[in-house]
Amino acid sequence: KANSELKDFLHINDFDKDTILKILDRAAEVKALLKSGENTYLPFKGKTMSMIFTKPSMRTRVSFETGFSLLGGHAIYLGPNDIQMGKREETRDIARVLCRYNDIIMARVFAHQDILDLAKYATVPVVNGLTDYNHPCQIMADALTIIEHIGHLEGTKVVYVGDGNNIVHSWLLLAAVVPFHFVCACPEGFEPDKETVEKARKAGISKIEITNDTKEAVQGADVVYSDVWASMGQKEEAEHRRKVFKGFQVDEALMKLAGRKAYFMHCLPAERGIEVTDGVIEAPYSIVFPQAENRMHAQNAIMLHLLGF
Ligand code: CP
Ligand code: NVA
């Protein structure tokens, strides 16, 4: 249910449009403050966060840890071998212990059910730092980046090219709340989850297209977006996927078809020469690094919202 008072940040469409746009405004505001060198805004002073990672990460770990500490708090990194979620201990026990130490929990996990269980059993806010199903913090940062570069998200055309994965699900769930035109161009058999597409379409907010035709898809795009073809947990499929995904690489020719106003975005890490060419990532229209930077600012605003600031 859309609700600005929710305890956790698990899916973008759990929140209503007002709340999402407010969080994005807040992200820009606190970003400006931090960029100005201001270091006396310390709302998280005396607060601690545990960060559970069952998968690798650079951006998520460093941006959460840095952001929380810049705002006065202390973050604790728990890597795949530390608590061994579900192996050494059950998720529901981990949740009920950590919330007695920490004010907030962030987690990156495989099964989506694990983040739902953490949220169910922890009495403190739980933030989704990526699951096999979705990656809401990433798409909040992407929305912030689009607003910074284009001026608004509403009414833009975002064209994702590649695997219908967790990133696509979060784009779809954002499209269920904020109006824009979202297109996913993917190979047959690699479409996003049907129910999620239905949910986004049923919301009646955004225009949603799923297609196999990249050339047609990118026409008039404001943003062309790409992600790895084999996500974490699928790396043994990488070779097979390289064959199936041929034709879904974002290269200079595809960007040319998109037109002069199109930016290139990628959540990173990228495999240059696979899903995107080196030339596209390095081009002036590529905004992948400001996009990565905005992870921290979007997440700061999410945590401020959840912790009641
Ligand atoms: N985009 C992203 O989540 O990066 P990491 O896997 O490095 O955290
Ligand atoms: N789809 C990718 C995103 C990485 C940030 C993965 O899940 O590995």
> 298 Cβ partners below 8 Å, 6+ apart?
23, 24, 27, 137, 140, 141, 143, 144
What are the pLDDT digits (tens) for 73-108?
999 999 999 999 999 999 999 999 999 999 999 999
Average pLDDT over residues 275-296: 98
Token pair 């746009």 is at which residue? 21
Residue 35 CA to residue 39 CA, distance in Å, equals: 10
- Closest residue to atom 4 of ligand 1, CA basis: 59
DSSP label at residue 12? G
In DSSP terms, which residues pair with 161 in a beta bridge? 185, 226
Task: Indicate the length of the chain as a whole number.
Answer: 309
Residue 133 has, within 13 A of its CA and on its CB side, a CA count of 16
Residue 34 CA to residue 32 CA, distance in Å, equals: 6
ipTM value, please give it. Answer: 0.99
- Closest residue to atom 6 of ligand 2, CA basis: 231
Pocket test for ligand 1, best of 268, 275, 288 (most atoms within 8 A of CB): 268
Identify whether the C-beta of residue 133 lies closer than 8 Å to the C-beta of residue 199.
Answer: no
Give me ligand 2 centre to Cα 123, in Å.
Answer: 28
- Closest residue to atom 2 of ligand 2, CA basis: 231
Residues of the chain with pLDDT > 90: what percent? 98
What are the pLDDT digits (tens) for 107-165?
999 999 999 999 999 999 999 999 999 999 999 999 999 999 999 999 999 999 999 99
Question: For residue 145, what is the enclosing H or E element?
Answer: helix 136-150
* Confidence bin at 195 (pLDDT 50/70/90): very high
Tell me which residues are annotated as active site. 267
Report the 10 Å Cβ neighbour count for 180. 22
* Confidence bin at 192 (pLDDT 50/70/90): very high
Report the 10 Å Cβ neighbour count for 14. 17
pLDDT surpassing 60 at residue 1: no
Name the residue type at position 138.
Q
Please tell me if the CB atom of residue 294 comes closer than 6 angstroms to any atom of ligand 1: no
pLDDT surpassing 90 at residue 242: yes
